[in-house]
Amino acid sequence: MTPTMQQGVLGAPLEQSPRAGDFAIVETARPACPEGGVLVQLSHVSMDPYVGARLRGRHMGEAAPEPMRDAIPGHGVGVVAESRCAIAEGTHVHLMGAGWRQYAPALEGEVRVIKPGALPPSVFLSALGMPGLTAWAGMTQLARVGAGDVVLVDAAAGAVGGAVGQIARARGAARVIGIAGGADKCALVRDTYGFDACIDYRADSWREALAAELAGGISVHFENVSSELLTLALTHMKPYGRAVLCGLAAHYQSDAPAPGIPFGLIIGKRASLHGLVVYDFYDRWDAFLAECQPLAQAGRLVIAEDVADGLAAAPETFERLMAGRNRGKALIAL
Amino acid sequence: MTPTMQQGVLGAPLEQSPRAGDFAIVETARPACPEGGVLVQLSHVSMDPYVGARLRGRHMGEAAPEPMRDAIPGHGVGVVAESRCAIAEGTHVHLMGAGWRQYAPALEGEVRVIKPGALPPSVFLSALGMPGLTAWAGMTQLARVGAGDVVLVDAAAGAVGGAVGQIARARGAARVIGIAGGADKCALVRDTYGFDACIDYRADSWREALAAELAGGISVHFENVSSELLTLALTHMKPYGRAVLCGLAAHYQSDAPAPGIPFGLIIGKRASLHGLVVYDFYDRWDAFLAECQPLAQAGRLVIAEDVADGLAAAPETFERLMAGRNRGKALIAL
């Protein structure tokens, strides 16, 4: 009898931002180990905000997963259960095409061997995974943050935002300021991620609080949320500041175009803006880990995790992620 | 009897873009040579599009000139007529605070000694003046143009745009494409400035012609005109292209804000945008001249001149500049 496994799928094509009831957990055949590749028993799968758009076929031209058939997309980590290539069984690996399922097949070139050591493997989906690589690329390859920089980042309680601040700090930034929604998230940003300050954009008079915090001006900004927040950040920028444009989380669930960025403000501030697509930095993964794995091991790069324990709990956790109510990196532990 | 001179002033406060009739040429006292400075007999004064806004107090917070009193602003070149500092009489100098007048006083630190050699001094108001410095800063300090780059610039028949293309070429750009308004300007851009192509934005189907010309994509763009043209250029950009944001000539005469630049397009193209304010690069003037004066002497950096012969002809030339009907750098020869 063919072995089976659990898999998370869409119940029906999506018209709007996914809710828990849009998902189904089905029993399906366990994939075979491909020639020249491995079958990975996944221990953790990531849930990422962009997948909310991807599920409707609205992320970088990629097709939506077929309802009741394709696993919901997600990166994963796990252990090689079967191998038909040079990677030994029992090896820890990271793979992009994991998905909401217990086992995933991959060719040898599609997995990265990881060496967790004393770190939990799930760290390779947050601080040492795509969110960490995104933050590292923005801070070190585009904004080139260094000693004396004053850094602002929004969605600072998220995995990317949290890593941005901690990597900037490790590179010598003088001050790191976050923006997040709610007192709980701001406490996480300050107390766990070690930011100097965090402004709660759900509080009254938060713009005044931000202006007071940024009275000396910022030199680096990392934008995760919206063009409105980028424009606000630019108004607080010192001359020759750098802004990394990474994401528009506030617009992932909307069909309306984001407002544009004022041309005159960019000139007036002599600002440099850099668009960031993390996929472009895969080939610098080794350089990223060389810098950031020691930071994580030393407890200087930490990302909280919001974990669904098993696939059955994944839909509710994903809905919470879409509503911005997650606290730390959203993951499924299998 | 105190010696007098001619001076160009505003006849009355301006409400809109200046026309020839808004100016007056008056006879006024010749300024004295200041202690620690010089009195310059001006040979040429530049006319710049931003002055249209400046005359209404709408350029970088600078006050509008007082009607019937202050000289219309403009940079100038001339010869030291009197000196009360270390600069000898007869020395050729460039000064920012020249204005529409025959003589201008300046402190020693406010003038730059120039050595025209075989070049006409007016070149230091165009290819080797602020327009050239603007182009050089954008191409070499911000976009860092080099071998293989494909460069697009609008307002290419203007002094800045023309210098952008020629400096990019000298730095090894593979192709240089201009956008200009009208067949005459496009001929200037191609035949005199040596661009590979120039698209006439007043022609039918110019967007299609531009798309065909840019089928291979651009890697560097220099924006002089509007955020709409910048957005169009970004749509033709290769990944990791660089755009310099220099001016918004199309908006200098309007009170409406320029449309914003799409955030998603910057990310999608992995573009870098750099705001440029030429004032910031004064301290690199020597490096600019070291690179560009030899180019000008070799005929590889040439800017056409649209010259008003005497102050009496200046108002009409300025109106033509405001209407975009100038052909080359607008100057007053005194």
Q: What are the respective helix, strand and coil percentages of chain A, to the nearest 5?
A: 35, 30, 40
Average pLDDT of span B97-106 = 96
The structural domains of chain A, ordered by start, are 4-126+303-333 (3.90.180.10), 130-279 (3.40.50.720)
pLDDT of B324 above 90: no
- Whether residue A15 has pLDDT greater than 90: no
Q: A268 and B275 in contact by Cβ < 8 A?
A: yes
- Which helix or strand (DSSP H or E) is residue A251 part of? none
- Contact list, B268 vs chain A (CB under 8 Å): 275, 277
pLDDT of residue B254: 67
Q: How confident is the model at residue A253 (pLDDT cuts 50, 70, 90)?
A: low
- Which pLDDT score, from 0 to 100, does residue B253 have? 62
Q: What is the pLDDT of residues B216-237, one digit of tens each?
A: 999 999 999 999 999 999 999 9
pLDDT above 90 covers what percent of chain B?
87
Instruction: Give the confidence band of B278 by pLDDT, cuts at 50, 70, 90.
Output: very high
Interface mutation target, options B226, B235, B267, chain A, most CBs of A under 10 Å: B267
CB B263 to CB A270 under 8 A?
no
C-beta atoms of A273 and B266 within 8 A = yes
Residue pLDDT, tens place only, A291-304: 999 999 999 999 99
H-state helical runs in chain A = 50-54, 130-136, 159-170, 183-187, 206-213, 227-235, 263-268, 285-297, 314-322
Q: Does A255 have pLDDT greater than 90?
A: no
Q: How do the residues of chain B divide into helix, strand and coil, expressed in percent and rounded to 5? A: 30, 30, 40
Residue in chain A nearest B223 by alpha carbon: A263
Residues of chain B whose C-beta is under 8 A from some C-beta in A?
Answer: 142, 227, 230-231, 239, 245-248, 257-264, 266-277, 280
Q: What is the per-residue pLDDT across B41-83, written as a single tens digit (0 to 9) for each?
A: 999 999 988 888 889 888 777 888 999 999 999 999 999 999 9
Nearest CA in chain A to B246: A267
Tokens 């009197």, residue located = B82
Give the pLDDT of residue A252: 65
Q: How far apart are CA A131 and CA A321, in angstroms?
A: 15
Q: Distance (Å, rounded) from C-alpha A101 to C-alpha A107?
A: 17
Q: Specify the pTM.
A: 0.89
Structure-block tokens of residue B111: 């003038």
Q: Cα(A257)–Cα(B262) distance, rounded to whole angstroms?
A: 8
pLDDT (tens digit per residue) in A134-179: 999 999 999 999 999 999 999 999 999 999 999 999 999 999 999 9
CB contact under 8 A, A275 and B267: yes
User: Once rounded to an integer, what is the mean pLDDT over residues B200-212?
Assistant: 97
Residues of B in contact with A280 (CB under 8 A): 239, 270
Give Cα B164 distance to the centre of its chain: 11
How far apart, in whole angstroms, are the C-alpha atoms of residue B141 and residue B137? Answer: 5
| C-alpha span between A87 and B25 (Å, rounded) | 85
Q: Which residues does residue A4 pair with via DSSP β-bridges, in sequence order?
A: A29
Around Cβ A191, how many Cβ atoms within 10 Å? 10
B263:A248 CB<8 A: yes
Give, to the nearest 10 degrees, the angle between helix B159-170 and helix B285-297.
80
Predicted confidence (pLDDT) at residue B252 exceeds the cutoff of 80: no
Looking at residue A59, its pLDDT comes to 77
Instruction: Give residue B211's pLDDT band: very low, low, confident or very high (50, 70, 90).
Output: very high
Question: pLDDT tens-digit profile of A72-125?
Answer: 999 999 999 999 999 999 999 999 999 999 999 999 999 999 999 999 999 999
Is pLDDT of B135 > 70? yes
Select from B142, B270, B277 the Cβ nearest to the Cβ of A280.
B270
